[in-house]
């Protein structure tokens, strides 16, 4: 429970976290080393590693390289049970609670349960909610489930509440990688006001001001992947923006 306790302690202290999402398909060793160096310099709090569609077979190497180079915790963000690596620090054990595809709610979990348990990873049950990002994203296609419409704040709120009451320890609202439209601050406010669990927000965040506003609206952890793949220099600005949110508690 090391990582989870850290996440709840940070939330309790009103401290916001910045996470860089690494898609193993999109990095080679050289590019990854650069990302790690920039992330350490910028005070990045976590790495998420994974994606809806991981084609290459370098998940283990990618995580081992991160672990050998820095102390930033690595959390698996798997699109499928095949994306599990014992070298990570924890696993976001995702259940797609915004969708009605039983495979992603429970089916794949059943199939992979013994293997997941054997991994020895810290398992963090996470209510995963895909929000419409303005155009089909990989996650909306692959999951074969409708995302929550971007303006249906009540649906998002009730979904998160139900997930938490079912025992989810984290809620992750995701507009999908490279989303045209990031999740609105209204929706973030609505959801965060009704749950105790730390709230992760990602998908289509391209500028530090939006990351900052999301935190002010109630996000605890901001995830950025796509924008950083395009411009690694953003790591510093994003991290600074997230960490500049005043502690209100
Ligand atoms: C996607 O939330 C993550 O699952 C991050 O999205 O790649 O658009 O930053 P981006």
**Segment 149-185, tens digit of pLDDT:** 999 999 999 999 999 999 999 999 999 999 999 999 9
* Probe target for ligand 1 pocket from 204, 208, 228, with the most ligand atoms within 8 Å of CB: 204
Burial grade of 193 (CB within 10 A; 0-12, 13-18, 19 or more): exposed
Strand partners, 92: 124
- Asked if residue 249 has pLDDT above 70, the reply is no
Asked whether the beta carbons of 123 and 93 are under 8 A apart, the reply is yes
Domain boundaries, the chain: 2-243
How far does the centroid of ligand 1 lie from the alpha carbon of residue 160, in Å? 19
- Supply the DSSP symbol for 74: E
Kindly state if the Cβ of 21 falls inside 6 Å of ligand 1.
yes
Q: Which percentage of the chain shows pLDDT scores above 90?
A: 93
Kindly state if the Cβ of 174 falls inside 6 Å of ligand 1.
yes
- Asked if residue 54 has pLDDT above 90, the reply is no
- Rounded mean pLDDT of 179-192? 98
Does the model's pTM come out above 0.95?
Answer: yes
CB atoms under 10 Å from CB of 51, counted, come to 23
Rg over CA atoms, the chain: 16
**Chain length of the chain:** 249
- The ipTM estimated for the assembled molecules is 0.98
The pLDDT score that the predictor gives to residue 248 is 73
CB atoms under 10 Å from CB of 198, counted, come to 24
Kindly state if the Cβ of 179 falls inside 6 Å of ligand 1.
yes
Overall CATH class of domain 2-243: alpha beta
């Amino acid at each position: 429970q090391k990582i989870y306790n850290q996440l709840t302690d940070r939330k309790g202290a009103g401290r916001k976290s910045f996470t860089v999402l690494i898609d193993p398909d999109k990095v080679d060793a050289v590019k990854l080393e650069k990302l790690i160096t920039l992330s350490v310099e910028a005070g990045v709090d976590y790495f998420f590693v994974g994606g809806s569609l991981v084609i290459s077979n370098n998940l283990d190497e990618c995580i081992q390289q991160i672990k050998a180079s820095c102390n930033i915790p690595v959390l698996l963000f798997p699109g499928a049970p095949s994306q599990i690596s014992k070298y990570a620090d924890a696993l976001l054990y995702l259940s797609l609670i915004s969708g009605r595809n039983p495979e992603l709610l429970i089916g794949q979990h059943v199939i992979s349960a013994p293997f997941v348990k054997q991994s020895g990873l810290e398992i963090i049950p996470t209510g995963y909610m895909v929000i419409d990002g303005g155009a089909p994203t990989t996650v909306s296609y692959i999951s074969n489930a409708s995302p929550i419409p971007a303006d249906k704040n009540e649906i998002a709120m009730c979904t998160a509440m139900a997930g938490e009451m079912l025992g989810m320890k984290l809620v992750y609202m995701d507009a999908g990688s490279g989303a045209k439209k990031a999740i609105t601050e209204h929706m973030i406010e609505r959801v965060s006001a009704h749950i105790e669990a730390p709230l992760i927000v990602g998908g289509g965040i391209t500028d530090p001001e939006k990351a900052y506003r999301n935190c002010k609206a109630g996000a605890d952890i901001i995830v950025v992947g796509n924008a950083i793949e395009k411009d690694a220099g953003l790591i510093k600005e994003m991290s600074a923006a997230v960490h500049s949110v005043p502690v209100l508690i």
